Amino acid sequence: MTVRELYQTMPYANAPESAAEALAWLVDKGDRFGLFIDGSFTEPGNGLESMNPATGEVLATLTVATAQDVDAAVAAARHALPGWAALGGHGRARHLYALARLLQKHARLFAVLETLDNGKPIREARDVDIPLAQRHFYHHAGLAQLMASDMPDRAPIGVCGQIIPWNFPLLMLAWKVAPALAAGNTVVLKPAEWTSLTALLFADICQQAGLPPGVVNIVTGGAEVGEMMTAHPGIDKIAFTGSTATGRRIREVTAGSGKALTLELGGKSAYLVFDDADLDSTVEGLVDAIWFNQGEVCCAGSRLLVQESIADRLHDKIRKRMEKLRVGDPMDKNTDIGAMVHPVQRDRVAGMIAGSRGEAFSAGAVPEGCYHAPTLITGLAPSDPLMQEEIFGPVLVSATFRTVDEAVQMANNTRYGLAASVWSEGIGRALEVARRLEAGVVWVNGANMFDAAAPFGGMRESGFGRDGGWEGLRDYTQPNVSGAPLRPVEPFEDTGDAPTAAEPLIDRTGKLYIGGKQVRPDGGYSRAVHDRTGRLLGHAPVAGRKDIRNAVEAARGASGWSRSSGHSRAQILYFMAENLSARTFYFANLINDLAGEDQGMAEVETAISRLFTWAARADKSAGRALDVPQPSMTLALREPVGVIGAICPDEAPLLGLVSVLGPILAMGNRAVLVASEAFPLAALDVVQLLETSDIPPGVVNVLTGCHADLAPTLALHADLDALWCFSSTDLSGRIETDSAASLKRTWVNNAKARDWLGPQGEAPDFLEQATRIKTVWLPYGA
């Protein structure tokens, strides 16, 4: 036998990692854990068992938190909040640095305990999860230090409730806890019921680091504990990572409560392979994309889309590689695929793929217990349930495409939008495809690259909000200026004794503006609009459900606006300002008549300035390059959200509409605007500005009518990507409840007014709400 033959046939030897230190820590704690509240552990109570999925062995008994326990944890966090925020950025940075150092000091203990509790291979826990958790605390120590200078207009939100999943227990803790603490918040965290042990070990190092009592509180238990937290009136923000169904329920429960909310939900990430890809590299990338962590990854590249001309070759290479994957003991350092987290999850995956209509290939035998063989299923149609539903296991499904356009269409043919991988040696094609994908993260010739500096999060039903970077930190802050309580603005009524005009007025009945045309409302109704004296000024149309449908359809058809350059959009905004300036006195007098106050001139002048502001920002807000440890050019790109519905403020009929429309247009979105309910005629005159300012048909659509009647239809509309509401009628709860069906982004006023004449009218929040972040990874190296 030659040396080459010897190397090719040599089997892997076992390389077991010792579990002694982790088991000793469990024994030292009595194998029973209470809750971590106000800086110390409570006495263990009635509990649930934490099991090693690889062996079925019970590792420890955990306490199930009661409603009283959750109350105590929230009270401790509330009590600690003022002192923690008052430490300032440097004081918080020192604590975060201490936590990072302790995570390094106890790295092996954390890695082994994570593997015992979760079933993932020790190599992945040791080389990926724990170092990245450390990195998050280091990075956020830096953000805490810089926050006062770089985010001077932001303040902590308050007490943050955080609910994390079982697939990356410590890493998800780090993703949530580090930014919350850096921003000055305090935390009540619930780890997953199947994998709580590293969170409890983290509580142990919080004590060692001298973290003030109450800053971090950890409560264990099942879904009922998460429900208590979500509905708790003492919690100011919920951050959740988990299933889309649960995320939708959390949106419904928190609706109208004023709680901030970020959701990182499910995915069905496309893995696109073009005919010029390096197929050997592609196959190794697939190993990381789908069989990393047993496929129990929300952004797993579980949906392989391969160009038809190379499909057979690629599938053959994948099958050969699958045969070499080692499935077995997670504590063996040579294991590629460990145990699935729980028998329930293993059985769920097996049930989903049973009776599949495609051609299934599973590689080799697996040990008895909580294991599942790596599986490839080919020959599926894009509509097949396995191509649409998240499997969350070591199962790769595949379909073919012929052209770039078909590839993009298939990749976007999902309700999710978390991540995607693009494999091509043609960098121009790869970047063009990356731009067109509906995904929050895109890896070019790579997969599953993460860093604390790189924002991570989804689109569509994969949720909203970001973890990581300045964007993730911002989601744990709020403006440091709060609005006054909302005051309903009512229209003027016909008093019956209004002064008679010198000459009879020509009848004025406005029309809706949809698809670049002035059209009558579908229902045929209009309502009278009077000035403060009761004099009739005209009639405004009353829009209905079909008008909203037509407006959204028109906006969808104007997608070319989102592909136009920032410079082109800026020119049109400047042109709008020019046309508004030419009609300054007309609009000022109209507003004075409508609103009954002498604010017309101030509104017009500020509206012109607003348009200049957003014209200026249109080509200066594209994103930034990120400094990540990996050899990669990594970009956080600002993209248009898409079609945004906006219910404009009542109290500032012109300025409010312009302040809302400016950022929507500047960032490349299309708009469906509902004008001031009380004073709609100003918006109908703005239509004339739109018609003379070269805005393409469908980019801006203007409706008038009752806010309370139109809001539910907008919130429920599946083709509306986001909905803003600044109405003087408090519609926040209804909008957030109804938007849960499609999990669209919402921005509501929570019964707080905004100063449209002041800085609040062009606050940075408008830029954040008018864009979404796409993180693109471009790895390089010889």
Of all helices (H) and strands (E), which one includes residue 623? strand 623-626
Q: What is the CA radius of gyration of the chain?
A: 28
Half-sphere exposure of 605 (CA within 13 A, CB side): 6
Positive/negative CA dihedral, 133, 134, 136, 140 = positive
Please say whether the beta carbons of 239 and 176 come within 8 A. Answer: yes
H-type alpha helices, 298-389: 311-322, 343-353, 385-388
Burial class (CB in 10 A: 0-12, 13-18, 19+), 516: middle
691 catalytic per annotation: no
- Looking up tokens 């604590």 gives 95
- Asked whether 269 and 290 are in contact (CB, 8 A), the reply is no
Distance CA 605, CA 655 (A): 9
Return the amino acid letter for 337.
Answer: I
Tokens coding 278: 């390096």
What is the Cα–Cα distance from 433 to 426, expressed in whole angstroms? 11
> 169-208: b or e for each residue (b if 16 or more CB lie within 10 Å)?
bbbbbbbbbbbbbbbbbbbbbbbbbbbbbbbbbbbbbbee
User: Contact 96/89 with Cβ under 8 angstroms?
Assistant: no
In sequence order, the β-bridge partners of residue 216 are: 187
The string over 719-732, giving b where at least 16 C-beta atoms fall within 10 Å of a residue's C-beta and e elsewhere, is ebbbbbbbbbbbbb
- For the chain, the 3-state helix, strand and coil shares in percent, each to the nearest 5, are 40, 20, 40
- Active-site position among 264, 390, 471, 736: 264
Q: Residue written as tokens 């037509």?
A: 550
In order of 22, 215, 225, 616, the CA distances from 71 in angstroms are: 31, 15, 11, 48
Closest of 751, 769, 736, 750 to residue 249, by C-alpha = 736
Query: What does each C-alpha distance from 89 to 39, 85, 95, 255 come to in angstroms?
Result: 21, 8, 10, 32
Task: Answer whether 290's CB lies under 8 Å from 394's CB.
Answer: yes
What's the CA angle centered on 776, arms 744 and 664, to 5 degrees?
40
Residue type, 449: M
Residue 289 CA to residue 296 CA, distance in Å, equals: 11
CB contact set of 601 (below 8 Å; sequence gap of 6+): 584, 588
Distance in angstroms (rounded) separating the CA atoms of residues 502 and 157: 57
| DSSP helix/strand/coil, 701 | strand
What is the number of other CB atoms lying within 10 angstroms of the CB of residue 389? 16
The alpha-helical segments, DSSP class H, found in 692-763 are 707-716, 732-739
- Cα separation, 762 vs 686, in Å, equals 19
Going by C-alpha positions, the residue among 117, 107, 105, 126 that lies closest to residue 23 is: 117
Neighbours of 43 (CB within 10 A): 8
C-alpha 740/C-alpha 86 separation (Å) is 36
Report the half-sphere exposure of 13 (CA within 13 A, side-chain side). 2
Amino acid of residue 350 = A
Give me the numbers of helices (H) and strands (E) for the chain, helices first please: 28, 32
Give the residue numbers marked as catalytic: 264
